[in-house]
Homo-oligomer: A and B are copies of this chain.
Amino acid sequence: MFEKIYLKTQGHTDFLNITEEVQDIVSKAQCQEGIIFLFAKGSTCALTTMEWEEGIKKDVKSVLEKIAPEDFDWQHHKKWGDHNGAAHIRSALMGPDLFIPFEKGKLTLGAWQSVVFIDFDEKPREREIEVKIICG
């Protein structure tokens, strides 16, 4: 089963909690047990899990800013004249793919674990996440 999740994002390490969207797709699946696979289409974004708390979002953002600051003269900026080198680096490090098992129709997340899409790009974007369920 293929589905898509569409998102409107603000960029600059914009965190979006997509746990409900993902659980909704699982709830409509033909099976009660399996794995849901999520793939972020794009090279300036990522998928992960984290507690959905304002402080953590600020903390993760500040650490990524230290690792790969937005306001830096990245080599990539010479190519297209854009200014999203940091976004590419953060995306490559964090990765685009995430799977979550489900049992009895529910995602097997920890109590404080949300499914989170992060957009690192320098401007608002419309994003697409590919979603696939494998039953069994």
Contacts and interface: CB of A to CB of B under 8 A. Distances in A.
A92 interface: yes
A5 to B, nearest CB: 13
Tally of this chain's copies: 3
Contact of A95 (B42, B54, B98): B98
A94 B93 contact: yes
Contacts of A43: 49-51, 110, 112-114
A99 B55 contact: no
A113 B96 contact: yes
A42 B103 contact: no
Interface of A: 1-2, 33-35, 37, 39, 41-43, 48-51, 53-56, 58-60, 62-63, 66-68, 74-79, 85, 88-89, 91-101, 103, 108-110, 112-114, 116, 130, 132, 134, 136
